[in-house]
Each structure stands twice: as C-alpha cells, then as structure tokens.
Amino acid sequence: MTSIFFSASFYSNAEDYWKEVAPTVDGMLGGYGSISSIDINGSKAFLKKFLGEGEGKTGTGCALDCGAGIGRITKRLLLPLFRTVDLVDVTKEFLDKARSYLGDDGKRVGNYFCCGLQEFVPEAGRYDVIWIQWVIGHLTDDHLVDFLQRCQKALRPNGLIIIKDNVSYEGVVPDEVDSSVCRDLDIVRRLVGQAGLRIVHEEQQLNFPKEIYQVHTLALR
C-alpha cells in the first residue's frame, strides 16, 4: 500500500510547485532539456509499432496528451502522427504558453483542458491514443486506477493508452520537492491490472543519463 505517501495536501503542493516552474522545455524536464530528442525518438519508434491501416492497427485520428505542460510531446510526437491532439494540464500558464509554442501546427489542437487528471473525464470514444508521460506520480493509487478506467472508455476501437514514466528499483519513493511518488514496475503493473487493463507491449527507454531513474513505456488497452 502506498497510501501513506499521499497527504491531504498532495495535489495542492504539486500545483504550487508547478506554478513556479518556467514554461520551457527545460522546465518541463526538470533541467534535463537535453534529453528531449532522445525521449521523443524513443517514443516515436514505440508508437509506430501500432499505428497504421488495417486489421488491429491503431488509428491516427485523435490523441490526448496528459500532463501536457507547454506541449513538448504534442509538438514533436503527437501532432506529426495524429490529425488532432487535445492537451490536458493542471497549470494554466503552461497551456497558455502551448498556444504560441506549438506554432502553426497548433491549429490542429482540438482542446486545451485545464484540469488535474484526478478530476479529468475524457470524452468517451474520442481517442486513438492517450499518452500519459511523467505524470502518474502525481496521482494517488486510487485516482490512477480510476483515471485509467476513464481513459479506457475514451478509446476508439484498437485505441491504446501509453504510460511512459520513471520507475523506482523497489517500492515507492516519495519526492517532497514536487509532491509526487515514483513507483516500481511491479506496482505500476498491479495498478494497471486493477484498472482492468492489460499490457500489450513494454519497453525500457535507452540512452538516458545514468543518474536518473529508469524510464519504461507501457502500451495498455
């Protein structure tokens, strides 16, 4: 059980933290802006395994970027692959910045939702891919399970939920600075199972700096 890590101010402390973060790629990546291209290229290779025409393939109509920040992933990963992308983030300043950061391609953004994921209800049957990167640590276990269940209802046929996040070596590691937790892979898998989802594919992101947590990508449906 990880509930001991979630105080009454777990969400408000995180909101306060992100309000002070610069609306830049470096800010989104906690000072590791230099890894952005490695990250995007790894994500693109992962996603392209599933996208396309034909039996069992995932469509390219609409994607949702969860914890989108200024739209780093929307700009470089999702908009090049999908006709329409929606962004959801709890920090209004980041979404405001996204409108200029995304440039002309921003015309293909469907919605900017300013909302915490613990409260966000994605539209049923809207999304081919729901991309959830570096944000599950900001949800309590119960809220993560509930959110994943809502995401499943929001998928189109053959749609996918993608989680890409840090994993700890063992157990749950709290981060007091940004009011989040880092879970080990077994805990993440267990919560995915609790949500009634199965893991279709799983990979570790390679070529990240040695000093940061391992990052794993999981495709769910």
pLDDT tens digits along 153-187:
999 999 999 999 999 999 999 999 999 999 999 99
Q: Output DSSP code: residue 122.
A: P
pTM here is: 0.97
pLDDT in tens, 98-148: 999 999 999 999 999 999 999 999 999 999 999 999 999 999 999 999 999
CA distances 46 to 155, 160, 170, 203, 206, Å, are 18, 12, 25, 8, 12
pLDDT (0 to 100) of residue 5: 78
**pLDDT at site 190:** 98
Q: What is the pLDDT of residue 3?
A: 65
Residue 152: CB atoms within 10 Å: 17
Give the three-state DSSP class for 123.
coil
Mean pLDDT of 67-80: 98
With 60 as the cut, is the pLDDT of residue 2 above it?
no
The DSSP code for 205 is P
In this prediction, residue 53 carries a pLDDT of 87
CATH number for domain 9-220, candidates 3.90.198.10, 3.40.50.150, 3.40.50.300, 3.40.718.10:
3.40.50.150
Binding annotation: 67, 72, 89-91, 117-118, 133
The one-character DSSP state at 78 is: I
Average pLDDT over residues 71-84: 98
CA distance 100 to 98: 5
Cβ neighbour number for residue 34 with a 10 Å cutoff = 11
pLDDT in tens, 30-62: 999 999 999 999 999 999 999 998 899 999 999
- Decide: 46 and 203 in contact? Cβ < 8 Å: yes
- pLDDT at residue 7 tops 90: no
* pLDDT exceeds cutoff 90 at 8: no
Residues making up the annotated binding site for S-adenosyl-L-methionine are 67, 72, 89-91, 117-118, 133
